[in-house]
Amino acid sequence: MKPIAATSSQPAARLRILTIETTCDETAAAIVTDELDVLSSVVASQDALHERFGGVVPEIASRAHVERVLPVIDEALRKAGLTLDDVDAVAVANTPGLAGSLLVGLTAAKTLALARGMPLVAVNHLQAHIYACRMASGHDVFPCVGLIVSGGHSSLYCCAGPTDFTPLGGTIDDAAGEAFDKVASLLGLPYPGGPAIERAAVAGNPKAHRFPRPLLDDATRLDFSFSGLKTAVRYLVVGPGKLKDSGIGAQRLGPNACLNPEHRTLNPSSLSDVAASFQEAVVDCLVGKAELALARTGYRTLCVGGGVAANRRLRERLAQSAAEHGYDLHIPPFALCTDNAVMGAIAVERLRAGKIADLSLDILPGPERTASK
Ligand code: KG4
Ligand code: ZN
């Protein structure tokens, strides 16, 4: 196996780490150094493959990863001007995520580690989302409260250090991004739903509908619940009870066929009002619980990661909150909020801490449930 530390008589050579990310529907690879320089980053999005289904189809995702993972790794090496001979370690996100998707990345990483005699490093995808803040800020962000808001997770962590994460709370049902995606589907907006709702919300009145803010008033819990909020939107748009067959089915056959049988077409101004009111309710919950987590831990830094952190209204409200309460806020630029392999640079911290995996490393699929009760 290649040495991973320089001897004391030699100057420390820069280590180059290949990071691989295939937890959900983005195939990504990056080359980072142990000084946290990013030599290259490649992300192959699968949005176009899943759009017509209104959400990620796991089997389609894993098949697409199989086709793309090697070209994406090759492209990352090419962009960095390197070959595999120049790579010193390989890191891979092995949890949480979709089983088939995780397996593709892990198999690629293990194969490279075995064939090239390189150390293998396991990355937790959620911790990596927080580490994106470290990468973007260029300086240490720990200790901090970590808020991960993605398609599968809405989780709060006490992050004492880059290898020391303790769950504080999380969603008890849907994730924030999942709620965005499902409400978007109901409104006939394209997948991924978050950006589509954000665009529709720009012209809307966030006070037009008073949707619930589940668990927000419960100061004993750092948890979220977005399923009821999603249902409240459904009741407003479709009405309560079972869907009648008449009328709605016909919409599925139209030129812009939407696979959600509950899809309703609203006029643009009503749609914008629903989108803005829904978005505001989600943002209220996320900001409120992040503030509570900071108060509980006594930490003065909040790091936010995950696709929903790309939401401009959330970023604006968190910036207001940080100014009001006097804490440091880190939210990465958009490209580092959604899934990418640069955030896999957290592997550098794990390498330094001697946390090297062996070839028995397995996937831990499914969501990482962090709810406090
Ligand atoms: O972190 P991510 O890329 O993948 C997961 O690990 O899930 O997050 C994807 C999620 C999707 O649910 C998507 O709708 C949401 O992030 N998202 C947004 C925005 N951009 C992406 N949600 C709200 N506003 C956005 N601008
Ligand atoms: Zn993610």
- For residue 21, the cross-strand partners are 28
* Whether residue 308 has its Cβ less than 6 Å from ligand 1: yes
Ligand positioned closest to the Cα atom of 149 = 1
In a 3-state reduction of DSSP, which class is residue 163?
Answer: coil
Q: Is the pLDDT of residue 351 over 60?
A: yes
Angle of helix 193-201 versus helix 268-297 axis, rounded to 10: 110
98 Cα: distance to centroid of ligand 2 (angstroms): 11
153 Cα: distance to centroid of ligand 1 (angstroms): 10
Cis peptide before 71 (omega within 30 of 0): no
Residue 45: the pLDDT is: 93
**For 290-344, what is each residue's pLDDT tens digit?**
999 999 999 999 999 999 999 999 999 999 999 999 999 999 999 999 999 999 9
**For 60-91, what is each residue's pLDDT tens digit?**
999 999 999 999 999 999 999 999 999 999 99
**For 252-262, what is each residue's pLDDT tens digit?**
333 344 556 66
Q: Is the pLDDT of residue 218 over 70?
A: yes
The residue whose CA is least distant from atom 7 of ligand 1 is: 151
Residue 51: the pLDDT is: 86
CA dist., res. 50 & res. 308, Å (int): 18
The residue whose CA is least distant from atom 21 of ligand 1 is: 307
Report pTM.
0.91
307 Cα: distance to centroid of ligand 2 (angstroms): 6
Q: How far apart are the first and last CA of the chain?
A: 44
370 Cα: distance to centroid of ligand 2 (angstroms): 15
308 Cα: distance to centroid of ligand 2 (angstroms): 9
| 7/62: higher pLDDT | 62
Q: Which helix (H) or strand (E) holds 196?
A: helix 193-201
Structure tokens belonging to residue 299: 């930490």
Which atom from ligand 1 is nearest to the alpha carbon of 305? Answer: 1
Residue 259: the pLDDT is: 57
Average pLDDT over residues 111-117: 98
225 Cα: distance to centroid of ligand 2 (angstroms): 19
Residue 254: the pLDDT is: 39
Which atom from ligand 1 is nearest to the alpha carbon of 339? Answer: 3
Average pLDDT over residues 89-108: 98
Residue 260: the pLDDT is: 64
* Whether residue 192 has its Cβ less than 6 Å from ligand 1: yes
Contact 60, 357 (CB under 8 A): no
Longest CA span, the chain:
80
Residue 257: the pLDDT is: 44
CA dist., res. 184 & res. 196, Å (int): 7
350 Cα: distance to centroid of ligand 2 (angstroms): 19
- Which residue in the block uniquely carries the two structure tokens 């959604």? 338
Return the DSSP state at 171. Answer: B
CA 161 to each of CA 123, 134, 164, 360: distance values in angstroms, whole numbers, following the listed order: 15, 11, 5, 26
* Whether residue 177 has its Cβ less than 6 Å from ligand 1: yes
* Whether residue 198 has its Cβ less than 6 Å from ligand 1: yes
By most ligand atoms within 8 Å of CB, the mutation choice from 123, 308, 315 for ligand 1 is 308
Question: What's the mean pLDDT when you consider all of the chain?
Answer: 91
**For 230-258, what is each residue's pLDDT tens digit?**
999 999 988 776 655 434 333 433 334 45
- For every residue of 262-274, DSSP letters joined together read T-----HHHHHHH
The residue whose CA is least distant from atom 2 of ligand 1 is: 307
Which atom from ligand 1 is nearest to the alpha carbon of 312? Answer: 26
Which atom from ligand 1 is nearest to the alpha carbon of 337? Answer: 1
* Whether residue 105 has its Cβ less than 6 Å from ligand 1: no
Q: Is the pLDDT of residue 174 over 80?
A: yes
Least confident range of 7-16, 195-204, 265-274, 341-350: 7-16
Average pLDDT over residues 20-28: 97
| 295/370: higher pLDDT | 295
Structure tokens belonging to residue 256: 């812009």
